C-alpha cells in the first residue's frame, strides 16, 4: 500500500485510543497488580495535536511516526515543560467512545485494501516482536511496561486478523522507534525518603554479628520498602525508580467517573488533577501511618503536580543498561525543594503551607479500618476516596480482554533494565552462590552532575542530543571499568548520572575502577564540550540487594556513602572530580592524586580534605614479584648463585659491589636475580628494580628512571610517615624538608622528567658533561644513602645508554664514603658494552654468565616439575631427549613443554618400569615424540588458540609496539581498533600482560617473542603503517600527550621507520631531537639527530639543502654542548663544505648559511680558538645584517652579540664594545616594539658591562651590570641563576671601584644562590667564589679570600678542560692572595702556571696586558723570595716588609674616627644566636651606619659557645655590608654550659675573627678620640666588667656613654642605680652590679633600656614577613628563627621555676607572662604545644637599644627618666609598666620598620631602574617598599 493510505488508516485508528472509555465495569480495583496495564495516556498518545476525541489529523500521526525530537506546536497543551499546574485544572470532556468506535468500524469495513494491509503488517509483526521475560517486568515502572506493551499471540482465532493487526499497530506506535525521544504527561511527582537504615545496620551487626546482622538488616529494609511500594500501587501510582534510600513515584492523571468529594469541604471534586492529588495524599497518609510505629525507620517527602517531561535516552537495543527513562520538569524540581523542607515524619505538598504528619496517617488508617476495607485487595471502597479507572486496554466495548489475548512487554524494554537488576535476573533467585544477594558490602559510587542539562528544554534538539550522547558515553565508560549503571535522573541536584562499582563482584578493586571511570568520564564530558559538570566518588559499606514486592522491585545500592558521593559531587570544582579519603587510600598506588582545599559537607562534622585524581601512575612496581615456580638451583646455576651471594655479602660488609649477569633469552636471569634479591630483602636490604628494552637505549638515564623515582617515594614516605602518591609530590616534599635543594630538583629532573623544573632547565646549558654527572650523583646520593643497605637491579634486553654508565661509575666511585652498603646488578642478554668513561666498572665487576641447561639438569628440572620425589622412579630417556631438544636447555621452555605435554595427556607413569614416559598415542605410532611440536611458539601460544580474531589482532599489534608500552601513548588506536580495551581484556582474562596504572608489559617475554615470530615482514610493516595512520587520522598532537617512558615523537618515528615511511620518520626524529635539545638533554638529542640523518639516505625523494643541513647543524651543537669537540668539528665541517659546494642553493637560503657559520664559530669559541671563531663571525654577521634589515631583529642581535663576545675574549675590547652596543640598541628597539621582553636587554647590559670592565672602565661597567640586576630583580625569582650572575658582576665592579665592603653582601648572596641552584661542582659556583674572594681581599681579609679561591680552583680543574683559558683570572687572583698571606713561593708557582696556560690558548698579542702583569708578578715575587732567602736580611724585617700592605688594610678601620662624617663610634657586646633581636640589632646598626649616624668599630660575641656566636656575628656583618667591622671573641657571659646558637647559612668561621674581644675593644679605644666611644651592651655585662676592671683608665678616658639593654630596680627607692633581674643582668648579676657601680663611681653616663620599653612598642610578625620578601638571607633566617625562638621560649616558661631547663630565665617569666606579653590575652585553661600562630606581638629589645645610641632618635621617640649620681646624669627608659618611655608607639614602629627594610635592600643594592623606554611594569609591593626605603634614606 502507498504511504498515504497507510497514513489515513493509522490516522483513523489513532483517534480510537486517545480517549478514556467510561465503563464502570473496568474499575482500576479489578486489575491484577502484578501484570502490566496498557492504558491510553492522553499525553503519550501519538496525536498531540488532535482536537477532542473525534479523529486525529495526518500531521499528528506523521509527527508521531517520525518520532521527532522537536517540541510540540505552540497551541499544544504540553507546549511548556514548566506549565503552572494551576493553569490546567479543568478541561472540556472528551467525545464519546461510541463516536470513535463507529468511525473505526467504518474504516475497517469500507476500506478492504487497508484492512488487508493492516493484516499483513500484523502478520509481519508476529515474527519480529519478542516478548520480555515476565520475571523481568517487576524491574520496570508501569509506564514503561505500557509504552512497550505487546499483545501475546494466543487467541488469534477469536478475532479477525485485521482487528488484531489494528491493535498491534496501535501498541507499536506507542513506543519510540529511535532515540533520543521525549513525551509529556500530566500528573504528580512524589518523593519519599527513608531514614534510619545506617543506625539500624550498625546496631544489628553489633547485636547479631556481621553475617546475621546483615541478613536481618536486608530483611527489614526490604520489608519496609515493599510496604511503601504496595501503598503507591494501591493508589494507582507508579514507582519510577528506587533512588538509593528514596522512592520517586509518578501519579498520572486518570479519567474517573466516580464521584469524589473533598474531605475538608465536602465539595464534589470534578477536576482530574484534584482527584490525582487526593490519591497522592492518601498514599502518603497510608505510608506515614504504617511507619509511625516503626522504631527504626522514618520518612519525609514532598509532592507536586504539573506537566512532566519524559525522556527516552540511549540506543535502541535489547541489552540491559543501554537505555534510560528519565523524567524532569517543574513538579520534580518543586518536589525536591519540598523534600529538603520536610522534617522526619512529614510530607509537604505544593501549594499547601502545612505538611501532613504521622499522626494524620494514624488517623487515616484507623478510618480505613473502621470502614472495613480490605487492604490486600489493593483498593478502597470508601465513598469519599478517589477510585480512578483505567481504560479497557485497546479493545472495543464488545471485545473482552480474554478475546483479544494476554499482553506482555516487548523485549526492547529490557534495555531500560538496570545493569545490576539484569545480572540479578540472569543469575536467578535460587542461586545460593549469587554475588547479588542482599548484603552489606563495600561499594564505590560515582555521581556525575550534568549541570548543563539541569534546565534542558528538549525543543533545543542539540541539547537533547547532547543529553543522549552523555548518557551513552558515561554508560560505556562505566561498563568498561567493571561498573554498573545505577540511574540517570533529575532531582534536587539537577541532572545526575550514577554508577556503582563492586556491587556485583568481589574480584575487582572498586576504588581503582571507580576512580579511573571518573577520570575517563571527566575527559569524555570535556570532549562533549560541556561547560558545567562535576563528579564525586566515595567508597564504603552499603546495602546492596533486591528490594520491593513482586509488583515492583529493583536492585538497589543505599548507604551513607551514596550521599557522600553526591555531596562530593556538589563540592567538586567545575569540570573536576573529588574523591573521598577511602578512595584515595585504596587507589594511590595506581593513580596520582592532588589534595583539595578543605571542604565541609552535610552529615560530616568539621572540615576535611578530599582528593582530586590527576593521572595514572606510570612507573612500574619496584617490588620483587613472586615467581610462578619455586626456585630450583641447578649445578650450572650454583656458581652463579654463589657469585651473587658473595657480592651481596661484600656489600653488606660495607664494600660497594657491582655484578653483571648475562645470558641468552629465557635462561632464568630474572629468576636468579630475584632469588638473591629476596634473600637480601630478608637481610634488611632495600630492593629497587627497573626494566628496559632495546628501544630505551635512546633515552638518557632511562635505566635509572624507575630507580630514582622509587627511591624518592621511599625516602619521602619514610620521612613523613605516610605514603606518597607520585614522584612529583615526593620531590616537592624532599625540597620542603631540605633533603633536596633546587639544584637537586634540576639534576633529578634529568633522570625523571616529571619532576623537572622548567624554569631552571636552562641552567644545564653549557655544563660540562663530567661536571653534570658529578652534580647528578650529588643529588642521587642524598636519597640513596638514606636507603642503605641497598640493591639496585637494572634488568632488560637492551643496551644501557652512555649517560647511565657514567652515573653508575660515579656512584660506585663515591659509594665507599657516602653509601657503602650498596650492590648494583646489571642484567643483559650479552656482556654489556661499557663506555670508556666507566671502564672502571668492568674491572671491578663480578661477571656472571648463564648458559643453557645440560641434559642432566633438564632431567633434574623435569623431576621437580613432575613432582617425582621417589628416587626409584625415573624418567624415560625419550622424554628427556624430546624436552631437552625442544626447549634448548631453557628453563622456561622446559616448563612450557612439560606442561603442554601433561595437559595433552602425553605423559604417563608406567608401573612396570617405574618411569615417567611418553604415552603411545596408538599402536601404529612409531615415534610419539613427533606429537610434540618442534616449533616452540606452538606450545607457548597453545593457551591462546581460542582467542577471537579481534583479540589475536590486538596481540599482534602489541607485539609490534614493543615488550612494554604505555597505553596513554597509544590511545589513538582506540577509536578504530579499540586496542587498549582489548589489551586490558587480554591482561585480565588471559594473563597476557601485567600492568601498573597505564603501563603494560608482556607477562612472559617468550610469549611476546612467539607472537612476534608469527608475523611476516610485510605484516609487521602493515601494522606499523596502520599505527601511524591512526595517529594522523585522529589528528593527535604528540605534544599534547603526557610523556611517560619516552618521547612520543621518538616512538612515532620508530613506527614510521618500520613502516618504511622514511620522510615521516625523519620528521619525527627531528622533532624528538628538538624536544630533547630544549630540555638540555643533549645526549638523547644527538642520538635523535643521528637517526634522522640516517633516514635521509633512505628517502627516495631529493631533499632540500635546508632539510639536509638542519639536523647536521643541530647535531654539531649537541656535540659541542657535550664537549665532544672533535665530533662536533667533523659534523659542522662537513655541513659547511656541503653548503659551499651547493653555492647556488645556499645563496637562496642565507639564514641557513649563517646558522652553519655561527654554529662552527661557537664551537671554536668554546675551544678558545678565538681567531677562527672571529673569522667565521665576520662572514656571518654581514649576511645576517642583509637578511634582517629591521632594527629590532633578535636573531640579528644574537649573532652580533656572539661576535662581540668572541672579540671580547680574544682581547679586541674596543670592537667588542662597539658590537655589544649595537646589539643592545637592536634589543632596545625590540622592547619598544614589544617584540621581546626586557629580560633580553639584561643579556646585553651584562655582556657590555663585562667588556667595559675588561677595559678598566669600572664605573661604566657597574652601571650596565646594575641595570641588568634591576631588570632581573624585577622579573625573575630572587634565587634565579641570572640574578646571581648580575650580583656577581656588580660585586666585582664595586670591588674594582674600591667598594669591596659593599660588594661582599652581593657576592655572598650570589654564592648561596649558585650553591643552591647549580651545586658545589658547577663553574658558576666557582665564579661566585672567585668574586667573593676578590671582595674579601679588597678589605684585607686575605685568608678568607684564600679559602674561597682554593674551592674555586678545585671546581675549575674538574669542570673545564685541562689548561682552559677560563682558569687564568682565578689563578691570578689566587697568586695575589697568596702573596698577601706571605706564601710567596706558591704564589710564584701559580703565576707561572697562568703564563703557561695563556701561551697555550692565545696567540702573540692577544690579552697581552694580562700576560705582562703575570710576568711582572713572577719577577717581583722572585726578588722577594731572594731577599727572604738571603742571609744578610733578617727574616723578621723581611716578613714585616711583606705584610705592611696587609696590615694597613686590616687596621684601617682602627684609625681615629671622624664623628661628623662617620657617626658616633660604638663597640657592641652581643650574645647573638640566642634570639633574633641581637641580629636585628645588627641590621639596624647597618642602616644607621649607612646614614652616618653610628660607626661600629667592633662587635664582641659573648656567652658560651663564643666561637659559634662570633662566626654568626661575622657572617651577619659581612652580608649586611659591614665586612670591615672586626669581630672579637668574648667570655662565657656567666653561662656554666654551652647554650644554643641558632644556625644560619651566612654563619661561617673566619681567620679575621680576633681571639680576644677585650684586646680588640682596647685597640679600638686607644685609637679613638677622648670621650667619643659609646659602648652598647646587648648581652651579659661580664665582658664589660672585665674591660672596666683591667683597663679602667682607658675606659674613663675614651668612653662617653654606656647603653645597656637590661633593667633597674625602681630608681626612686635607691640612691644609686641597682640592676634588677632582667635576663642580661641575671646571666651574671655580680658583673652587672659591678658595671653599674663602676660607671656611677667613675662618672661615666649610662642609658638603660628596660623590658617595659620593648613591651611598649612590640613588633608584629607581619614586619618579619615583609622583610623576608626581600629574600635577604638574614631576613629569611630571622623570620624562620623567630618562630623557633618563640616556641623554645614557650617550652621554657611552662616549666616549673626550679627546672634547670629554664636556664637563666627569671621566675616571673611564666606562661601567664608569656600570654600577656606576646599574645595579649588571658592564659587558656589548656596550654597548647605551639603558640606561633597565636602570637600578635614580638618584643624587639636590642634594636631599640641601638636607636638609643643616636641622640636624635632618643629625643624624638623616647621619654627618659633622669637619675643624677655624683653629678652625672644617668638615663632610664621604661621605669615601670605604666611609664614605658615611648612617646609615640606608631611613629617609633614606622621608624625602625623603615630602617630595617632599608638595611636589607641597601645591602642587596636594589637599584632604581631608569631605562630610556616606557615600561608598563608596576609592582605595588616594590613601590611600597621603595617608599619606606626612601624615607629611611
| Distance from C-alpha of 1205 to C-alpha of 1782, rounded to nearest angstrom | 60
Which residues contact residue 462 at a Cβ distance below 8 angstroms, ignoring those fewer than 6 apart? none
Q: Given the C-alpha cell 608401573, which residue does it identify?
A: 911
pLDDT at residue number 211: 55
Measured CA to CA in angstroms, residue 1310 lies from 735, 739, 1336 at distances of: 20, 21, 14
How much is the average pLDDT of 1459-1485? 88
Quick check: 513 and 481 in contact, CB under 8 A?
Answer: yes
Please determine, for residue 1156, whether its predicted confidence score (pLDDT) is greater than 60.
Answer: yes
Instruction: Give the residue from 225, 125, 253, 924 showing the smallest Cα distance to 549.
Output: 225
Q: Given the C-alpha cell 545480572, which residue does it identify?
A: 423
Q: Given the C-alpha cell 643497605, which residue does it identify?
A: 789
SS3 of 1322, please? coil
Least confidently predicted of 306-315, 452-461, 1507-1516: 452-461
pLDDT at residue number 1496: 95
Q: DSSP letters of 838-860?
A: GHHHHHHPEEEEE-PPPHHHHHH
Quick check: 1288 and 1253 in contact, CB under 8 A?
Answer: no
Record the cell numbers describing residue 1522, joined without a space: 659591614
Measured CA to CA in angstroms, residue 1198 lies from 761, 1127, 1708 at distances of: 20, 25, 69
| Distance from C-alpha of 976 to C-alpha of 979, rounded to nearest angstrom | 8
Between 885 and 569, the higher pLDDT residue = 569
Q: Given the C-alpha cell 674551592, which residue does it identify?
A: 1351
Q: DSSP letters of 88-154?
A: SS--PPPPPHHHHHHHHHHHHHH-HHHHHHHHHHHHHHHHH--BPPGGGGGGS-HHHHHHTEEE-SS
Q: How confident is the model at residue 1303 (pLDDT cuts 50, 70, 90)?
A: very high
SS3 of 384, please? coil
Quick check: 116 and 338 in contact, CB under 8 A?
Answer: no
pLDDT at residue number 553: 87
SS3 of 1087, please? helix
pLDDT tens for residues 178-205? Answer: 888 888 889 999 999 988 877 887 788 7
Quick check: 852 and 888 in contact, CB under 8 A?
Answer: yes
pTM: 0.51
Record the cell numbers describing residue 292, joined without a space: 509511625
| Distance from C-alpha of 378 to C-alpha of 550, rounded to nearest angstrom | 14
Q: What is the maximum alpha-carbon separation in the chain?
A: 152
The residues that bridge with 192 in the sheet, in sequence order, are: 247, 301
How much is the average pLDDT of 567-585? 92
pLDDT tens for residues 116-150? Answer: 333 333 333 433 468 888 778 888 888 888 788 77
Share of the chain above pLDDT 90, in %: 23
Between 26 and 801, the higher pLDDT residue = 801
Q: Given the C-alpha cell 657469585, which residue does it identify?
A: 643
Which residues contact residue 1361 at a Cβ distance below 8 angstroms, ignoring those fewer than 6 apart? 1123
- CB burial string 1603-1614: b at 16+ within 10 A, e below: bbbbbbeebeee
pLDDT at residue number 1469: 96
Torsions phi, psi for 585 (to 5 deg): -65, -25
Write down the number of H helices and E strands in the chain.
70, 38
pLDDT at residue number 1638: 94
Least confidently predicted of 811-820, 1240-1249, 1721-1730: 1721-1730
Angle at CA of residue 1711, ends 1707 and 1713, nearest 5°: 70
Torsions phi, psi for 326 (to 5 deg): -125, 135
Q: Note the residue count of the chain.
A: 1833
DSSP H/E element including 733? helix 727-736
Q: Please tell me which of 28-42, 1394-1408, 1439-1453 the model is most confident about, judged by mean pLDDT.
A: 1394-1408
Please determine, for residue 849, whether its predicted confidence score (pLDDT) is greater than 70.
Answer: yes
pLDDT at residue number 616: 80
| Distance from C-alpha of 1794 to C-alpha of 1487, rounded to nearest angstrom | 10
pLDDT tens for residues 385-406? Answer: 323 233 334 444 444 444 555 6
Q: Given the C-alpha cell 602489541, which residue does it identify?
A: 958
Least confidently predicted of 169-173, 685-689, 706-710, 1526-1530: 169-173
SS (H, E, C) 1380-1427: HHCCHHHHHHHHHHHHHHHHHHCCCCCCHHHHHHHHHHHHHHHHHHHH
pLDDT at residue number 67: 34
pLDDT at residue number 548: 86
Average model confidence (pLDDT) across the chain: 78
Where would I find the beta strands (DSSP E) of 627-684?
657-663
| Distance from C-alpha of 1595 to C-alpha of 1573, rounded to nearest angstrom | 9
pLDDT at residue number 699: 75
pLDDT at residue number 525: 94
| Distance from C-alpha of 412 to C-alpha of 398, rounded to nearest angstrom | 31
Residue 974, judged by CB atoms within 10 A of its CB (0-12, 13-18, 19+), counts as middle
pLDDT tens for residues 33-65? Answer: 333 333 333 333 233 333 333 333 333 323 333
Please determine, for residue 537, whether its predicted confidence score (pLDDT) is greater than 90.
Answer: yes
Please determine, for residue 357, whether its predicted confidence score (pLDDT) is greater than 50.
Answer: yes
Share of the chain above pLDDT 70, in %: 79
| Distance from C-alpha of 1054 to C-alpha of 886, rounded to nearest angstrom | 34
Q: What is the DSSP letter of 801?
A: P
Amino acid at each position: 500500500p502507498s504511504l498515504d493510505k497507510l497514513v489515513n488508516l493509522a490516522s483513523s485508528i489513532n483517534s480510537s485510543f486517545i480517549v478514556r472509555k467510561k465503563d464502570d465495569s473496568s474499575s482500576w480495583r479489578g486489575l491484577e497488580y502484578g501484570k502490566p496495564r496498557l492504558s491510553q495516556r492522553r499525553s503519550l498518545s501519538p496525536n498531540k495535536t488532535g482536537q477532542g476525541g473525534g479523529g486525529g489529523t495526518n500531521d499528528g500521526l506523521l509527527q508521531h511516526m517520525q518520532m521527532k525530537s522537536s517540541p510540540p506546536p505552540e497551541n499544544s497543551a504540553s507546549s511548556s515543560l514548566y506549565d503552572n499546574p494551576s493553569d490546567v485544572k479543568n478541561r472540556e470532556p472528551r467525545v464519546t467512545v461510541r463516536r470513535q468506535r463507529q468511525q473505526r468500524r467504518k474504516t475497517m469495513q469500507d476500506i478492504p485494501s487497508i484492512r488487508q494491509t493492516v493484516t499483513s503488517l500484523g502478520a509481519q509483526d508476529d515474527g519480529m516482536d519478542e516478548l520480555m521475560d515476565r520475571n523481568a517486568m517487576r524491574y520496570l515502572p508501569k509506564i514503561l511496561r505500557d509504552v512497550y506493551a505487546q499483545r501475546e499471540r494466543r487467541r488469534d482465532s477469536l478475532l479477525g486478523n485485521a482487528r488484531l493487526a489494528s491493535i498491534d499497530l496501535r501498541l507499536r506506535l506507542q513506543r519510540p522507534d529511535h532515540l533520543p525521544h521525549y513525551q509529556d504527561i500530566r500528573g504528580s511527582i512524589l518523593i519519599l525518603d527513608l531514614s534510619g537504615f545506617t543506625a539500624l545496620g550498625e546496631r544489628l551487626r553489633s547485636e547479631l554479628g556481621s553475617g546475621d546482622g546483615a541478613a536481618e538488616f536486608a530483611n527489614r529494609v526490604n520489608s519496609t520498602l515493599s510496604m511503601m511500594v504496595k501503598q503507591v500501587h494501591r493508589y494507582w501510582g507508579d514507582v519510577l525508580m528506587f533512588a538509593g534510600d528514596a522512592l520517586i513515584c509518578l501519579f498520572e492523571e486518570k479519567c474517573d467517573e466516580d464521584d469524589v468529594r473533598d474531605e475538608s469541604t465536602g465539595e464534589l471534586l470534578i477536576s482530574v488533577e484534584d482527584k490525582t492529588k487526593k490519591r497522592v495524599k492518601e498514599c502518603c497518609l497510608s505510608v506515614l501511618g504504617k511507619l509511625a510505629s516503626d522504631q527504626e525507620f522514618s520518612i519525609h517527602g514532598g509532592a507536586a503536580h504539573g506537566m512532566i517531561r519524559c525522556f527516552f535516552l540511549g540506543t535502541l537495543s535489547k541489552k540491559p543498561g543501554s537505555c534510560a527513562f528519565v523524567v524532569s520538569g517543574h513538579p520534580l524540581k518543586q518536589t525536591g525543594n519540598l523534600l529538603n523542607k520536610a522534617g522526619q515524619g512529614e510530607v509537604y505538598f505544593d501549594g499547601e503551607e502545612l505538611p501532613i504528619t504521622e499522626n494524620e496517617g494514624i488517623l487515616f488508617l484507623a478510618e480505613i479500618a473502621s470502614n472495613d476495607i480490605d487492604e490486600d485487595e489493593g483498593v478502597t471502597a470508601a465513598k469519599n476516596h478517589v477510585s480512578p479507572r483505567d481504560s479497557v486496554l485497546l479493545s472495543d466495548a464488545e471485545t473482552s480482554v480474554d478475546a483479544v489475548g494476554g499482553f506482555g512487554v516487548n523485549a526492547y524494554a529490557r534495555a531500560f533494565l538496570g545493569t545490576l537488576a539484569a545480572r540479578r535476573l540472569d543469575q536467578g533467585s535460587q542461586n545460593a552462590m549469587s554475588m547479588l544477594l542482599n548484603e552489606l558490602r563495600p561499594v564505590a559510587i560515582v555521581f556525575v552532575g550534568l549541570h548543563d542539562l539541569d534546565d534542558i528544554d528538549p525543543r533545543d534538539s542539540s541539547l537533547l542530543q547532547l543529553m543522549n550522547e552523555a548518557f551513552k558515553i558515561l554508560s560505556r565508560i562505566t561498563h568498561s571499568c567493571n561498573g554498573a549503571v545505577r540511574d540517570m535522573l533529575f532531582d534536587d541536584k539537577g541532572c545526575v548520572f550514577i554508577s556503582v562499582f563492586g556491587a556485583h563482584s568481589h574480584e575487582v578493586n572498586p576504588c581503582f575502577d571507580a576512580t579511573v571511570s571518573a577520570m575517563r568520564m571527566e575527559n569524555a564530558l570535556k570532549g562533549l564540550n560541556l561547560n558545567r559538570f562535576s563528579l564525586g566518588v566515595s567508597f564504603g559499606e552499603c546495602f546492596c540487594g533486591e528490594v520491593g514486592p513482586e509488583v515492583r522491585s529493583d536492585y538497589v545500592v543505599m548507604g551513607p556513602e551514596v550521599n557522600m558521593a553526591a555531596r562530593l559531587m556538589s563540592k567538586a570544582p567545575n569540570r573536576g572530580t573529588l574523591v573521598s579519603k577511602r578512595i584515595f587510600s585504596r587507589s594511590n598506588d595506581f593513580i596520582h592524586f592532588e589534595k583539595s582545599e578543605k571542604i565541609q559537607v552535610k552529615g560530616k562534622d568539621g572540615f576535611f580534605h578530599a582528593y582530586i585524581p590527576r593521572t595514572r601512575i606510570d612507573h612500574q612496581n619496584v617490588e620483587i614479584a613472586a615467581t610462578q615456580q619455586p626456585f630450583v638451583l641447578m649445578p650450572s646455576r650454583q656458581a652463579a648463585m654463589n657469585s651473587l651471594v658473595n657480592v651481596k655479602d661484600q656489600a653488606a660488609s660495607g664494600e660497594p659491589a657491582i655484578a653483571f649477569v648475562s645470558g641468552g633469552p629465557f635462561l632464568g636471569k630474572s629468576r636468579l636475580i630475584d632469588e638473591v634479591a629476596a634473600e637480601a630483602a630478608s637481610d634488611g636490604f632495600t630492593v629497587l628494580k627497573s626494566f628496559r628494552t632495546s628501544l630505551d637505549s635512546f633515552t638518557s638515564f632511562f635505566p635509572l628512571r624507575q630507580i630514582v623515582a622509587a627511591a624518592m617515594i621511599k625516602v619521602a614516605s619514610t620521612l613523613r610517615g605516610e605514603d606518597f602518591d607520585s614522584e612529583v609530590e615526593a620531590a616537592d616534599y624532599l625540597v620542603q624538608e631540605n633533603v633536596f635543594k633546587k639544584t637537586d630538583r634540576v639534576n633529578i629532573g634529568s633522570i625523571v622528567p616529571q619532576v623537572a623544573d622548567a624554569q631552571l632547565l636552562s641552567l644545564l646549558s653549557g655544563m660540562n658533561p663530567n661536571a653534570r654527572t658529578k652534580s647528578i650523583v650529588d643529588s642521587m646520593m642524598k636519597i640513596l644513602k638514606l636507603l642503605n643497605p641497598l640493591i639496585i637491579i637494572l634488568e632488560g634486553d637492551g643496551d644501557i645508554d652512555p649517560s647511565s654508565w657514567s652515573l653508575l661509575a660515579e656512584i660506585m666511585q663515591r659509594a665507599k664514603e657516602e653509601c657503602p652498603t650498596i650492590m648494583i646488578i646489571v642484567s643483559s642478554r650479552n656482556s654489556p658494552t661499557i663506555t670508556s668513561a666507566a671502564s672502571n666498572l668492568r674491572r671491578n665487576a663480578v661477571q656472571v654468565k648463564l648458559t643453557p641447561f645440560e641434559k642432566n639438569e633438564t632431567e633434574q628440572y623435569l623431576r621437580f616439575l613432575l613432582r617425582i620425589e621417589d628416587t626409584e622412579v625415573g624418567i624415560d630417556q625419550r622424554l628427556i631427549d624430546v624436552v631437552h631438544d625442544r626447549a634448548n636447555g631453557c628453563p622456561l621452555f622446559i616448563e612450557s613443554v612439560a606442561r603442554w605435554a601433561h595437559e595433552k595427556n602425553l605423559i604417563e607413569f608406567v608401573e612396570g618400569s617405574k618411569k615417567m614416559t611418553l604415552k603411545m598415542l596408538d599402536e601404529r605410532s612409531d615415534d610419539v615424540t613427533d606429537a610434540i611440536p618442534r616449533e616452540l611458539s606452538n606450545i607457548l601460544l597453545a593457551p591462546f588458540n581460542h582467542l577471537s580474531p579481534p583479540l589475536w589482532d590486538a596481540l599482534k599489534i602489541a607485539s609490534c609496539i614493543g615488550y612494554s608500552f604505555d597505553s596513554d601513548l597509544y590511545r589513538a588506536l582506540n577509536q578504530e581498533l579499540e586496542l587498549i580495551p582489548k589489551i586490558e581484556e587480554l591482561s585480565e582474562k588471559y594473563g597476557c600482560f601485567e600492568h601498573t596504572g597505564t603501563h603494560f608489559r608482556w607477562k612472559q617475554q617468550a610469549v611476546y617473542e612467539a607472537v612476534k615470530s608469527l608475523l611476516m615482514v610485510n605484516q609487521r610493516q602493515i601494522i606499523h603503517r596502520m599505527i601511524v595512520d591512526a595517529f594522523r587520522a585522529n589528528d593527535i598532537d604528540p605534544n599534547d600527550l603526557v610523556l611517560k617512558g619516552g618521547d612520543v615523537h621518538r616512538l612515532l618515528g620508530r613506527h614510521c621507520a618500520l613502516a618504511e615511511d622514511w620522510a615521516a620518520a625523519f620528521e619525527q626524529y627531528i622533532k624528538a631531537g628538538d624536544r630533547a635539545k630544549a630540555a638540555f638533554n643533549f645526549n638523547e638529542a644527538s642520538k635523535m639527530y643521528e637517526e634522522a640523518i640516517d633516514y635521509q639516505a633512505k628517502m627516495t625523494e631529493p631533499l632540500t639543502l635546508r632539510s639536509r643541513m638542519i639536523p647536521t647543524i643541530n647535531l654539531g651543537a649537541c656535540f659541542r654542548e657535550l664537549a665532544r669537540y672533535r665530533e662536533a668539528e667533523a659534523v659542522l665541517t662537513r655541513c659547511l663544505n656541503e653548503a659551499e659546494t651547493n653555492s647556488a642553493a645556499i645563496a637562496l637560503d642565507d639564514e641557513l648559511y649563517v646558522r652553519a657559520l655561527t654554529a662552527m664559530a661557537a664551537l671554536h669559541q668554546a675551544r678558545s680558538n678565538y681567531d677562527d671563531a672571529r673569522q667565521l663571525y665576520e662572514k656571518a654577521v654581514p649576511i645576517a645584517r642583509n637578511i634582517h634589515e629591521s632594527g629590532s631583529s633578535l636573531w640579528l642581535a644574537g649573532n652580533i652579540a656572539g661576535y662581540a663576545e668572541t672579540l671580547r675574549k680574544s682581547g679586541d675590547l674596543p670592537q667588542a664594545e662597539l658590537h655589544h652596543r649595537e646589539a643592545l640598541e637592536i634589543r632596545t628597539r625590540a622592547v619598544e616594539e614589544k617584540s621581546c621582553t626586557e629580560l633580553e636587554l639584561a643579556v646585553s647590559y651584562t655582556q657590555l658591562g663585562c667588556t667595559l670592565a675588561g677595559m678598566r672602565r669600572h664605573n661604566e661597567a657597574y652601571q650596565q651590570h646594575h641595570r641588568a640586576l634591576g631588570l632581573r630583580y624585577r622579573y625573575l625569582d630572587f634565587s634565579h641563576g641570572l640574578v646571581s650572575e648580575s650580583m656577581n658582576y656588580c660585586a666585582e665592579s664595586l670591588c674594582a671601584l674600591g667598594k669591596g665592603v659593599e660588594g661582599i653582601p652581593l657576592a655572598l648572596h650570589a654564592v648561596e644562590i649558585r650553591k643552591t641552584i647549580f651545586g658545589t661542582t658547577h663553574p658558576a659556583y666557582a665564579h661566585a667564589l672567585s668574586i667573593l674572594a676578590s671582595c674579601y681581599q679588597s678589605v684585607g681579609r686575605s685568608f678568607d679570600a684564600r679559602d674561597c679561591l682554593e674551592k674555586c680552583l678545585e671546581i675549575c680543574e674538574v669542570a673545564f678542560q685541562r689548561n682552559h683559558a677560563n682558569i687564568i683570572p682565578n689563578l691570578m687572583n689566587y697568586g695575589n692572595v697568596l702573596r698577601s698571606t706571605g706564601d710567596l713561593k706558591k704564589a710564584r708557582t701559580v703565576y707561572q702556571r697562568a703564563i703557561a696556560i695563556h701561551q697555550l690558548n692565545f696567540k702573540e698579542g692577544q690579552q697581552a696586558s694580562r700576560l705582562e702583569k703575570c710576568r711582572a708578578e713572577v719577577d717581583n715575587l722572585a726578588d722577594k723570595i731572594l731577599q727572604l732567602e738571603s742571609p744578610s736580611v733578617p727574616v723578621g724585617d723581611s716578613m714585616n716588609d711583606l705584610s705592611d700592605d696587609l696590615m694597613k688594610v686590616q687596621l684601617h678601620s682602627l684609625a681615629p674616627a671622624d664623628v661628623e662624617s662617620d657617626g658616633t663610634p660604638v663597640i657592641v657586646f652581643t650574645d647573638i644566636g640566642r634570639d633574633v633581636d641581637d641580629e636585628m640589632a645588627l641590621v639596624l646598626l647597618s642602616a644607621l651606619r649607612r646614614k652616618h649616624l653610628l660607626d661600629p668599630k667592633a662587635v664582641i660575641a659573648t656567652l658560651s659557645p663564643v666561637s659559634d656566636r662570633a662566626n654568626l656575628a661575622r657572617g651577619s656583618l659581612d652580608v649586611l655590608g659591614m665586612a670591615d667591622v672586626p669581630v672579637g671573641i668574648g667570655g662565657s657571659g656567666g653561662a656554666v654550659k654551652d647554650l644554643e646558637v641558632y644556625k644560619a647559612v651566612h654563619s661561617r668561621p673566619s681567620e679575621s675573627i680576633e681571639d680576644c674581644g677585650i684586646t680588640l675593644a682596647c685597640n679600638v679605644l686607644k685609637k679613638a678620640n677622648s670621650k667619643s666611644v659609646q659602648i652598647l651592651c646587648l648581652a651579659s655585662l661580664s665582658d664589660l666588667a672585665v674591660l672596666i676592671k683591667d683597663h679602667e683608665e682607658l675606659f674613663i678616658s675614651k668612653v662617653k656613654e654606656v647603653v645597656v639593654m637590661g633593667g633597674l630596680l625602681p630608681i626612686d627607692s635607691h640612691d644609686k642605680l641597682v640592676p634588677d633581674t632582667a635576663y642580661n643582668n641575671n646571666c651574671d648579676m655580680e658583673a652587672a652590679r659591678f658595671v653599674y657601680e663602676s660607671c656611677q663611681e667613675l662618672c661615666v653616663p649610662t642609658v638603660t633600656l628596660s623590658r617595659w620599653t620593648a613591651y611598649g612598642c612590640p613588633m608584629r610578625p607581619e614586619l618579619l614577613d615583609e622583610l623576608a620578601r626581600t629574600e635577604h638571607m638574614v631576613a629569611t633566617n630571622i623570620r624562620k628563627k623567630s618562630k623557633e625562638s618563640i616556641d623554645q621560649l614557650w617550652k621554657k616558661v611552662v616549666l616549673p621555676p626550679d627546672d634547670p631547663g629554664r636556664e637563666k630565665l627569671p621566675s616571673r617569666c611564666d606562661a601567664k607572662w608569656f600570654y600577656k606579653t606576646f599574645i595579649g590575652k588571658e592564659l587558656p585553661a589548656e596550654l597548647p604545644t605551639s603558640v606561633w600562630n597565636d602570637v600578635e606581638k614580638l618584643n624587639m629589645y636590642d634594636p631599640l637599644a641601638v636607636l638609643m645610641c643616636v641622640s636624635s632618635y632618643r629625643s624624638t621617640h623616647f621619654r627618659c627618666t633622669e637619675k643624677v649620681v655624683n653629678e652625672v646624669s644617668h638615663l632610664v627608659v621604661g621605669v615601670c609598666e605604666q611609664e614605658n618611655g615611648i612617646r609615640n608607639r606608631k611613629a617609633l614602629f614606622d621608624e625602625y620598620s623603615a630602617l630595617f627594610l632599608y638595611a636589607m635592600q641597601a645591602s642587596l643594592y636594589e637599584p632604581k631602574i631608569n631605562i630610556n623606554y616606557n615600561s608598563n611594569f608596576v609592582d605595588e609591593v616594590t613601590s611600597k617598599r621603595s617608599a619606606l626605603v626612601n624615607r629611611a634614606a
